[in-house]
Homo-oligomer: A and B are copies of this chain.
Amino acid sequence: MDIKTTCLAILSRGDASGYEIKKTFEDGPFCHIQDAGFGSIYPALGQLRDDGLVTVTEMSQNGRPGKKVHAITPAGRMALVDALAEPSVPDRFRSDFLFRMLFAHLISPNHLEATIEARLSDLREAVVRMENCACSNTIEPSEKFVNGMGLSVYRAMIDYIEDHKIELIGATLLAGAAQ
């Protein structure tokens, strides 16, 4: 999904500054499925304002740098609904970990095992975070759906790695001995 529509979507859930939109990508319900940096968000918000899809109110707080609160307009809501009706583009998954696993025979067995354990640890941490998120009080059906999907996928990954890591490390050891 393009950044402008993504910003509109986040603003449809409540007013926000650019900084708060960025935080939503880090902690919020989007954190596993979308991302954007300041270098994308600020220009996108500027264009949305120029197009009349959001309004900006500068709230200069005592001392702190003035927060620019963005609010979605009726035209913005219409643009969002239109964008959501377009056919979705295919998902994109980029895995540095799996790429390295394809070349396991070029990694030392010790380092290979450490890489696998680090990945398992990261995945288990992600599961705990998502489980806590799911427990929180007022979770909407759509968020529950997406959250549950993420949990299923992460658990499938953990189970698979636990079941097959010995196999991969063993094969790598044999390949090394054969050289």
The interface of chain A, by Cβ under 8 A from chain B, is 1, 6, 9, 12, 29-30, 32-35, 80-81, 84-85, 87-108, 111, 115, 118-119, 122, 141-143, 145-146, 148-149, 152-153, 155-157, 159-161, 164, 167-168, 171-172, 175
Main secondary structure of the interface of A (DSSP, over half): helix
| Interchain CB contact under 8 A, A88 and B93 | no
| Interchain CB contact under 8 A, B33 and A145 | no
Known: A12-B106, A149-B164; 4 extra A-B contacts, CB below 8 A, are: A91-B98, A98-B149, A102-B146, A148-B164
Residues of B within 8 A of A84 (CB): 100, 103, 106-107
CA distance A35 to B92 in the complex (A): 9
